[in-house]
Amino acid sequence: MALCLLLHLAFLRLGTTQPLAQEHGFSAPVVDWPSFSNLDSPQEVQETTEVPNNGSAPLLVDVLVFVSNVFNVDILRYTVSSTMLLRLSWLDTRLALNATGHQRGMVTLPWDSLWMPELTIREALWVEWQDRSPRARVDRDGHIELYLALTTETNCDLELFHFPRDQSDCRISFFAFGNTVMELEFKPHAVNEIVSVKREYVVRDLKTQVPSQELVPCFQVTLRLENTALKAIIALLVPGEALLLADLCGGLLPLGTERIAYKVTLLLGYLVLYSSLVQALPSSSSCNPLLIYHFTALLLLLFVSTIETVLLAGLLAQGNRRHESSCSLAPRVEQHDRGNPGPNPEEVPRGAKGSRRSWAEAADHIFFLLYLAGVGCGQLIFIVLWVWTTCKSDPAPGEAVPHGGWPRL
């Protein structure tokens, strides 16, 4: 019996098989993956850091993208900040178990001890991986599952023609520059996990796709963002429309210095508001926000209205000064011609003064009607452009020049 125990211990140290151990009443030892039996061996690690062989077909990596937050959309910098979770899964037959009677169904391994695709985001300004040392889960068949959480700020060609009621498609492209399409292929899926809508931009749609005609394995995540900010509409549209309505009401004041002061005050106030409104809106080489043109049109209308008031008031004041000078010369004429009973000189200037005033008031009334019609037509044109007009951005320089285009590495 003692001899049997010594032989059994010797066989265990040499890595004997399970049937011999069970023959003597001992439980079977836990067998680990062959490639990770000795992680200190560089040769063993090198075998698992190469792309797994899938025969003549490229290795298929299933990618599930969980978008959990889009927390900042900067329209002035054309950037979007988001947080997402990637679940990568693929098959590596080198890590499959060949031993029978294995007791563990899944183990976790460090990410740097096995092969994984090295992902690069093309549109990213910066990327922060939340877990610096993620661990992959491997089952007994060699299926690997790896989770990567990241926060990134990416460039987005926001379509802001209808701002602040705009919709834009922002693309986030993941490239594996260390491999070719003959070695690796992605199969992406997307899940929208955003549950809060208490923000300016919300995600209305989320989809993934694999771009065609690419020599580098890649996949894209497209976020459709919609602006739902009522605050921007109130802060931008209401002040301009209120000043335009106040300008129309100012046309009802009598023509004179009071109306000039009123119009000039409105114009100066809108100039201050105009500078702040334009600075709050982004600018681009094409498809600028329609509000920029709307605010500029309102500024021109206020300017024309003010100029009209100043000109008519100036002409009226100049006529009054001539009338006063003619009245001062009338007594001298009477002294030289006392015996000639002519018409009363005061009656002629009064008639001339009345005719001048009636002419100025008639011109001002005609201008007010034309101005009112112009404002109404302008507002109608703005609404039509806002609702039915779309703006197609110019092609990017890389696509427009003869030798441009997407990178083909």
Q: What mean pLDDT is reported for the chain?
A: 79
pLDDT band at 232 (very low <50, low <70, confident <90, very high): confident
Share of the chain above pLDDT 90, in %: 40
List the domains of the chain with CATH numbers: 42-228 (2.70.170.10), 232-333+344-388 (1.20.58)
Question: 132: closest CA among 148, 156, 113?
Answer: 148
pLDDT (tens digit per residue) in 68-99:
999 899 999 999 999 999 999 999 988 887 54
| CA dihedral sign of residues 15, 18, 19, 23 | positive
What is the distance between the alpha carbons of residues 266 and 34, in angstroms, rounded to a whole number? Answer: 83
pLDDT band (50, 70, 90) for residue 24: very low
Q: Which residue has the higher pLDDT, 317 or 176?
A: 176
Question: Residues near 106 by Cβ (< 8 Å), separated by ≥ 6?
Answer: 137, 138, 139, 140
DSSP classification of residue 403? T
Which residue, 215, 212, 121, is CA-closest to 173? Answer: 121
Q: 221: how many CB neighbours lie within 10 A of its CB?
A: 23
pLDDT of 319 strictly over 80: no
13 pLDDT band, cuts 50/70/90, is very low
Cα–Cα distances in Å, from 264 out to 218, 257, 274? 60, 10, 15
22-26, 173-177, 300-304, 352-356: which range is least confident on average? 22-26
Quick one: CA torsion of 184, 208, 201, 384, rounded to 10 degrees?
A: 130
pLDDT band, residue 198 (cuts 50/70/90): confident
The residues facing 86 across adjacent strands are 65, 148
Is the pLDDT score of 29 beyond 90? no
The per-residue DSSP string of 309-352 comes to HHHHHHHHHHHHHHHHHHHHHHHHHHHH-SSS----TTHHHHHH
How far apart CA 409 and CA 128 sit, in angstroms, is 25
